[in-house]
Amino acid sequence: MTTTVERSAGSGQTQPAPRRRPKRSPLAKREDRAGWLFISPWVIGFVVFTAGPMIASLVLSFTDYQMIQAPHAVGLDNYRQLFDDPRVLKSLSNTFVYAAMFVPLGTIFALALAMMLQRVGKAGGFFRTAFYLPEMTPAVAAGAMFLLLLNGQQGLINKVLGWFGINGPNWTADPNWLKPSLAIVSLWTVGGTVIIYLAALNGVPKQLYEAAELDGAGPVTRFFRITVPMISGALFFTVITHTIAAMQMFDQAYTMFYGPQQKATASDESLVYMVYLFQNAFQFFKMGFASAMAWLLFVIIMLITFIQVRIGNRYVYYHGDR
């Protein structure tokens, strides 16, 4: 292979000449055009429905805009107000507490269901469909249903607890139980996570379990030494997605505690961040302040995800790693 060099004027030193890009064949150009054509619907949708609104909200976050008048610039006032408004801090605190409950609870619950599904056998197809169906249920309908199930006086859950001599709490009225009740309601939507875990569990080589049994490893040892490391990639992915979803919790919280019938008795203990953002945007018509809240949440989620990725990558096993 020959290398083209040039002698720089005056210095006498030689420098490699810039490489020319190889000329693309007509077939490669047609494939490029076909690729762009196929992804163009997504690109157009992303620009129109995601990137465009994000840029618009960033601009609005520096303005005072109440929808009935043209926005006017206020500089960083909206961002300063974020730190002066106690309800912002309260809603953010509630959201963190809810996420701290739901992420581990949802992960353990979904993994337990997936491990049971793996042992069902021929009926596995039916149960996979049954577990995934709640994902198709509108969140508002699920929230309304759980509002009845969690009723402190007539709810089915407290009646079942009563059969075992347990006096159930007032899930939807006691401030101490509002966030746990939201975490329980969110378990309704882990069907997709169950399917991901089931696929990961089915991909674990059986030889590893057979070798561990020959070495005398018990079920608990096999779970923590084989199962968890081998499905750590799926666990890592779902923990990140669960965290992002928890930080954006809205539907169930709004339906259960801020609907037309519950609004008058709503407690600040159930005020999650997205509900307060919605109230500012579409009830108080403070679009500039709501936009600033949205960008604060975006930055928080980015930081949490960055930390999770940096820490999680140390413990995740990827096939092909040495």
Could you give the percent of the chain with pLDDT greater than 90?
A: 50
In angstroms, the Cα distances linking 174 to 183, 265, 267, 268, 283 are 15, 11, 9, 12, 26
Could you give the CA distance from residue 19 to residue 3 in angstroms, rounded to a whole number?
10
Domain coordinates of the chain in residue numbers? 34-77, 86-313
| Confidence band for 15, pLDDT divided at 50, 70 and 90 | low
Residue 131 gets the label, from left (phi > 0), alpha (psi -120 to 50) or beta, of: alpha
Q: How much is the pLDDT for 154?
A: 80
Q: How much is the pLDDT for 275?
A: 93
Q: How much is the pLDDT for 143?
A: 78
- Are 78 and 71 contacting, i.e. CB atoms less than 8 angstroms apart? no
pTM (predicted TM-score)? 0.82
- Are 128 and 198 contacting, i.e. CB atoms less than 8 angstroms apart? yes
pLDDT, tens digit, 9 for 90 and up, residues 230-269: 999 999 999 999 999 999 999 888 888 887 666 666 778 8
Q: How much is the pLDDT for 257?
A: 83
Domain at 86-313, CATH from 1.10.10.60, 2.60.40.10, 2.40.50.140, 1.10.3720.10: 1.10.3720.10
